[in-house]
Amino acid sequence: MSPALVALLVGAACIALSPIFVRLSEAGPTATAFWRVALAVPLLWLLWLLRKDHRSRRYSGRWPLLLAAGFAFAGDLGFWHTSIQLTSVANSTLLANLASIFVTLAAWIFLRERPSGQFLAGLAAALAGVALLVKTSVEFSSTGLAGDALGVLTALFYAGYIFAVKGLRDRGETTLHLMAVTSTVTAVILLPAALASGEQFLPSSPWGWGVLAALALISHAAGQGLIAYALAHLPAAFSSVSLLFQPVMAALFAWAILAEPLVPLQIAGGIVVLLGIYLARRGSA
């Protein structure tokens, strides 16, 4: 197995751990989202400053897109962390991964990029799977429907983040500088939101700080960094492996660590959603 593929799978597993850390956090969901990026920011900037080529690069023309990416990522994390607290980890993670479908829909609407029949088939399958997931939430949790809705909203913000990142990458933006700037912007946006929410802002024990540090360093810095490295050395089709692997691993982690059950209808809905996302991505490639 190639080092890049190992990095892809390990990175996806690191990100799949993030909803577990969110559930275990002693801080509120928005505060946890803030600490997730804030604790990673010093390391990201240090790594960027250690690069030999950072002084020769110019970033002035990219700041509007960098700010847009940071804003979209703040919405992504803020809504997703709240979704994780209200619905199952499996539902929240699966619904957040609808972002790739929203990206193609936005390209269809705004860029007049006509989708293929395979994409439309994938979209139909994904929507059918979402209906099964929502049905499960309504039956088993009084807050599940709200959590599922926030999961879909998360996907919308993440789609905006993907659009902004694509524009930045097309302009020569480096992964490390992109992560450092967007993480900083995200932290600046989430800080007042967390303070205004009335949630618990600080963890109440060293264990709580350890959970936040693990979320920042394992899920955010290491997970995102490994995937960015892997996708630079693998064919584009492998991005689908990462996308499909994350919600599966998240559900398994939730079952093993949080004892969160997976009922047959939910498993069926998850499989249909993953199949729909896979077909949609193949049809929009």
pLDDT over threshold 70, residue 155: yes
More confident residue, 235 or 217: 217
Tens digits of residue pLDDT in 218-229: 998 888 778 777
d(CA 277, CA 257): 27
Tens digits of residue pLDDT in 174-214: 878 888 999 999 999 999 999 999 999 999 999 999 999 99
